[in-house]
Amino acid sequence: MTKRLEGKIALVTGASKGIGAEIAQRLAAEGASVAVNYASSKQGADDVVAKIKAAGGKAVAVGGNLADPKAATSVVAETVKAFGPIDILVNNAGLYEFAPLDAITPEHFHKHFDLNVLGLLLVSQEAARNFSKDGGSIINISSGASTITPPNTAVYTATKAAVDAITSVLSKELAAQKIRVNAVNPGMVVTEGVKAAGFDGGDMRTWLESVTPLGRVARTDEIASVVAFLASNDASYITGEALRVTGGFR
């Protein structure tokens, strides 16, 4: 594999498992030194770091729950302390819990928006202050839900529609710093979180696969490869985009 990210410094939020863990490992395989952020699963983050190091890469685990506004500062500071100015930020930390309109509460709303939107904004703000003078790339992990708009997901889908809008806005704000900002919008990916929610089998997956032109759900590496592309100079003239990786379902 050509190491497109040789010498680059990357921070991946929510990288102790699932898509984030796969992204961290892919960026490291492409040559980046990676800060693997985690909120609660230090063991998961340490495992990801160990895998990266075993493959000859550089990584460090960085704790911080980005639902806490103070965490953005410490997570970025630890990354810079370990490796130097940032070239790549992947905003992957997020959560999803579905609820019909009648079950939505202020707590449900704030739980999602505090992490999926405010957390993303604050860590992007802090990272942008600590980016390399040569610029770089911010990749926001959004969701196919932002345009597919499934029932019973009003709050979660609203956070991801906000992420798409923020991506477009920041691509214009940060262009002068040579920072490109794009979103990746995955369809269903079978991760630990999806399995824990019971979505990896049963009616929901059957329906999704039936309406997806490629006829299946995604693998984590199929999301990570798109992130690696957007982080690299191969995507040097791409900014402000939300790239659906949904197997054709829209």
The 10s digit of each residue's pLDDT in 137-171 is 999 999 999 999 999 999 999 999 999 999 999 99
- Give me the residue spans of the domains in the chain: 9-189+223-240
Q: What pLDDT is stored for residue 2 in this prediction? A: 67
For 170-191, letters b (16+ CB in 10 Å) and e give bbeebeeeebbbbbbbbbbbbb
What tokens does 114 get? 């505090």
Is CATH 3.40.50.720 the right assignment for the domain spanning 9-189+223-240? yes
Residue range 175-183: average pLDDT?
98
List, for residues 34-51, the tens digit of each pLDDT value. 999 999 999 999 999 999
- Count the helices and strands in the chain (H runs, E runs): 10, 7
Q: Provide the annotated active-site residues.
A: 156
Please compute the mean of the pLDDT values over residues 16-22 and round it to a whole number: 97
pLDDT value at residue 119: 98
